[in-house]
Structure 1
Amino acid sequence: MLYIHILSLPCVLRCSRAAASWTQEDGAPNLRAILTNTSIKWSSNTKISFPGDGDFINATTRWTVFRPPTYQAAVSPATEPDVSTAIRVASENSIPFLGTGGRHGYGTTLGNLQGGLALDLSKLNSVSVDKDAGTLTVGPGVHFGDVLDPVFNAGYMLPTGSCSCVGILGATVGAGIGRLSGLYGLLLDQLISARVVTAVGQMVTVSNDTNPDLFWGIRGAGANLGLLTSATFQLSPLVNNGDFSSYDMIFPAAKNGSYFDVLASFNDGSSAFPAKLSAASAISYNSTTGEILANWAYVGSQDEADLIIKPVLDLDPSYIDRRVISWPRFTAEAQFGLDAALCEVNKTNDIYGINTKNLDTATFTSIFKQVGDYYAQWPDGQGTTITLEAFPNQASLAVPEDATAYPWRDAQYNILLQFTWEASGNTVEEPSTRLAQSIREQIASSSGYGGLTVYVNYAHGDEQIEEIYGRDKLSRLVELKRAWDSNNAFSFNNPLPT
């Protein structure tokens, strides 16, 4: 196994990020012999599988197949102690592994693991709502879609993400941005406590009172520090009975500049975007040309929403679907009902992310034309979209900056460049990469951060480390990495240096 040794923190801040990579070669541990050794006492429902087994496919199928990790074996633990056993066995035998819940992660650093061990956590899918305490406790196999009804039926809400198929704990350890960030903050801000398996298989509890340093670190860089087997979140009372005023709209190519002007006008200062309002806009292809698909949503009455988003409605979209959607149905029904399609697995999705404080309309008008030219020249890439998430940040900013490891609380927009095509090795891959990197650079130059910054869950994998984790928090994160994972077992998800 290859370990990367960083000589000094100043080098970390200056140098591009280096990720450990591992490929099983001749002489490497025999995973079948190790995992099936009768001295290991697995619980009866824990599954050990290998390539060719049906259980192996179920344990390793991914949302995206772009530059994926590969495995020689998979363990699907049925109990929390079996997670500890699996990591302890991996540690003792120098077997690299990835723990996965929703398997929705798409960072290319995951592909640095070739021929390792898959630790499939899908069986740990318990959901428990304590109505009296107003808390939710879930396992690592739980997706956002699994908690919406139980939480809502108990009279609460939670700041969930934008897709129902994403694993809750995977999103949380990165931050957990979403449409309710203005009201409740980030998903990690709701985290009360968690149970974490360390790099040597030890089970520990983390909270503000127990192992507080590790609790600080897992909220923003958790994929580097341990594996969560359970997490408890604080829930919040329903706002507006949980009803969203939702507006799905389509704007033709000719109105793209006007649309970006209006979207930018809601950002007159970091807190100008109303706390109850959110918008997700996508440059997309409509079979003949580019257009903008937009969903604006307000946690309040339609009369209030009509007044607040009047500048958007005044643009006279070519299509509009205006209706009230209850919070547990919002993810599935809003945004043109695209959630089901966006959650399809085994697709090629090559994704780049950028955070911004500002939205420069001239930059995005230019990008709209560049993407249109790309659609025309490369028909195989016409499924590509550029998404702008404008999520409020008032409650996120109300949390002290040093309270968690997450560094980008003041971001107003999170932008995703999602390039997709049908087959690996398609000729569109190279021009897609060129365009993605060019667009990312253009947006970063006017982001308000003075360069590229990216939400860790949206990272591509080629960024410098301070562009993901922030320069100010790196030294503390490196010390935590040394203390809790000195052998770099958790080294494949946008890795921190040791």
Structure 2
Amino acid sequence: MAGTIATSAIVAAAWMHSAFRGPAYSPSHHANVTAELSPLLSANASILAPGSTGWSEAALRWQPWKSPVLDIIVEVATEQDIEHSIRVANHHRRPFLAISGGHGGTRDLSNVRNGIGIRMRGMKGVAVAEDGRTARIGGGILSGELAHTLWADGKQNVGGGCECTGAVAPMLGGGHGWLQGQYGLMADNLVSARLTLANATTVTVSATLQPDLFWALEGAGHNFGIVSSFEYKLHDRTPENEKWTYDLMIFRQDQLEDVYRTAEKLDASSQTVELAHWSYWLRNPVVDPVDPIIMFYVIYQGTTIPSQHTKPFHNLKPVSSQVNTTDLLGLAKVTLLDMTSPFCAHSNTTAVQRWPTLLKTYPISGLRSAFNKLASLPSPFNGSAFIIEAYSLQGVQAVPEDSTAFADRTSSLLLSPFLIYPISTQEVDEQGEQHGREMQQILANASGRPLSAYINYASGFESQEALFGYQPWRLEKLRALKREYDPEGRFSYYAAVHT
């Protein structure tokens, strides 16, 4: 029942350096760029133009709100292909953008006009080290591809919950996920990276090689280069750790306060690394013809969930409950984020805006206000959802807070509306922006703390402090590194550091 409810509900459903905006598109200029770049590329690379074979697939993004506008897409196959692409883009004063999963959804991306896409999907190899502790991974691999490949080798990796995003981009923004309680964020598992800089040179960065740049890569990495490959920590999967059990409960809107007060008490009393909570607020007229429903997951690493983690929720008398056991790979399907899920469908007609807030505790009054706002959205937004992710923090907080650019290691809750609507007019886009901003601010105000926003969900309207932290030294360090490694703002199309 629960799976049917969730699926039907979803289906119902900048800044940049001005010198690189580029002149208006002209066929002759496009031909000049292609003619210069083509002979420099490797045998397995190619250049796609609008209307050519493969263009539609390569150019299609997860959603079209604030999308970049590209003149050509270079399907790179080697590190040198990336370097040549950047060098030619620089010569012709064209913006460029790395593409893997195409999931980026921030207004910064709309600053790419007449740009050159550097599509990384030809670089997705995985080579496990002889000692099995790390792997060398291509920068174009998707999160699901990486997880499945490593699982077949008896390994698991810290990764995000969604299979269809690129693996690199979430890591560059920190990277929350199921295993963070044991092993930290995705960024914390990065060992080294091959990084192509704005001047088209490639360097190796690690804790010992260019450590300041490595520090920036772990949380603000979209600002500093294109990762052609990276060395990443692996963790053995064993009969003791590979199984996960979930209890998916459906609640009505009038149970909201009780559900999240219960979750708050359990989070405070149990700090076990095996436990996570996950919520969707979704419209489903079968259960409630007026208000969204609350889908609440208790997710536990093990073949059963200890009753103290589920009984308090069952005492609230959910509409339904579904208990099952899966593995780490299966959690993507359970939470509707596998390759075949509606949330992974790419579309040029359905927009998605995300407005994230990172919090330490559930702001109950703010949750009610945000829920009421979601329920009252006008009809174009009927397919919208609200997501609350609650993860363990032990592994995250085991990493010193000043050791990476990721600023918020104290918040275990990631909340965000997903405003989903058919692309139609600028007016509807602006309505979404207004509603999203209001919901984001409602939650921040109710929490009593300044807004902290998860970079990987950021709308692009957030302040620099909200993205990179309120400690002055953090922004000063990032800005100094930006001036050193990207003085002309070539990498300023996702969560840009403003110098």
Q: Same fold (TM over 0.5)?
A: yes
Question: Residues 32 and 314 of structure 1: is their aligned pair in 2 closer, same or farther, counting only changes over 3 Å?
Answer: farther
C-alpha distance in 1, partners of 2:237/2:82?
A: 35
C-alpha distance in 1, partners of 2:337/2:494?
A: 32
Contact conserved, 1:98 with 1:119, CA < 8 A, in 2? Answer: yes
Contact conserved, 1:173 with 1:218, CA < 8 A, in 2? Answer: yes
C-alpha distance in 2, partners of 1:223/1:169?
A: 10
Residue type of the partner of 2:385? T
C-alpha distance in 1, partners of 2:94/2:292?
A: 47
Query: Normalization by structure 2: what TM-score?
Result: 0.90
Give the 3-state SS of the residue equivalent to 1:290 in structure 2.
strand
C-alpha distance in 1, partners of 2:382/2:177?
A: 27
Residue type of the partner of 2:77? A
Match of 1:102 in 2: 101
Residue type of the partner of 1:490? F
Q: CA deviation at 1:20?
A: 4.3
Contact conserved, 1:164 with 1:332, CA < 8 A, in 2? Answer: no
C-alpha distance in 2, partners of 1:292/1:241?
A: 29
Give the 3-state SS of the residue equivalent to 2:447 in structure 1.
coil
Identity %: 26
For residues 113-262 of structure 1, the aligned pairs below 5 Å read 113-130=112-129, 132-238=131-237, 240-262=240-262
Say whether 1:471 aligns with 2:474: no
Residue type of the partner of 1:285? R
State the Cα deviation string for residues 306-362 of structure 1 (Å, max 9, x = none).
Answer: 332321222222122101101122212345979611100013111111111121112
Residue type of the partner of 1:457? N
Match of 1:352 in 2: 355
Residue type of the partner of 1:275? V
Q: CA deviation at 1:153?
A: 2.9
Q: CA deviation at 1:24?
A: 3.9
Aligned residue-pair number:
475
Q: CA deviation at 1:88?
A: 1.5
Match of 1:277 in 2: 275
C-alpha distance in 2, partners of 1:419/1:149?
A: 30
Q: CA deviation at 1:265?
A: 1.9
Which of the numbers 285, 288, 293 marks the counterpart of 2:295? 293
Unaligned runs of 5+ in 2: 1-13
C-alpha distance in 1, partners of 2:451/2:358?
A: 8
Q: CA deviation at 1:479?
A: 1.1
Match of 2:53 in 1: 54
Residue type of the partner of 2:396? S
C-alpha distance in 2, partners of 1:314/1:131?
A: 50
Match of 2:304 in 1: 302
Give the 3-state SS of the residue equivalent to 2:438 in structure 1.
helix
C-alpha distance in 2, partners of 1:285/1:32?
A: 49
State the Cα deviation string for residues 69-125 of structure 1 (Å, max 9, x = none).
Answer: 101111111111111111122123322111111111111111111211111111111
Give the 3-state SS of the residue equivalent to 1:321 in structure 2.
strand
C-alpha distance in 1, partners of 2:197/2:282?
A: 42
Question: Residues 145 and 425 of structure 1: is their aligned pair in 2 closer, same or farther, counting only changes over 3 Å?
Answer: same
C-alpha distance in 2, partners of 1:336/1:87?
A: 33
Q: CA deviation at 1:180?
A: 1.6
Residue type of the partner of 1:404? T
Give the 3-state SS of the residue equivalent to 2:23 in structure 1.
coil
C-alpha distance in 2, partners of 1:27/1:371?
A: 40
C-alpha distance in 1, partners of 2:332/2:320?
A: 20
C-alpha distance in 1, partners of 2:156/2:298?
A: 19
Give the 3-state SS of the residue equivalent to 1:88 in structure 2.
helix
Residue type of the partner of 1:77? V
Match of 2:395 in 1: 395
Question: Residues 98 and 336 of structure 1: is their aligned pair in 2 closer, same or farther, counting only changes over 3 Å?
Answer: closer
Residue type of the partner of 2:455? V
Contact conserved, 1:185 with 1:396, CA < 8 A, in 2? Answer: yes
Contact conserved, 1:248 with 1:334, CA < 8 A, in 2? Answer: no
Match of 1:379 in 2: 379
Match of 2:23 in 1: 25
Residue type of the partner of 2:216? G
Compare 414-423 and 429-438 and name the one that shifted more: 429-438
C-alpha distance in 2, partners of 1:156/1:200?
A: 36
C-alpha distance in 2, partners of 1:291/1:236?
A: 37
Unaligned runs of 5+ in 1: 1-16
Say whether 1:457 aligns with 2:456: yes
Contact conserved, 2:38 with 2:46, CA < 8 A, in 1? Answer: no
Question: Residues 437 and 336 of structure 1: is their aligned pair in 2 closer, same or farther, counting only changes over 3 Å?
Answer: closer
Give the 3-state SS of the residue equivalent to 1:167 in structure 2.
coil
C-alpha distance in 2, partners of 1:38/1:120?
A: 15
Contact conserved, 2:21 with 2:94, CA < 8 A, in 1? Answer: no
Question: Residues 226 and 336 of structure 1: is their aligned pair in 2 closer, same or farther, counting only changes over 3 Å?
Answer: closer
Match of 1:418 in 2: 418
Match of 2:369 in 1: 366
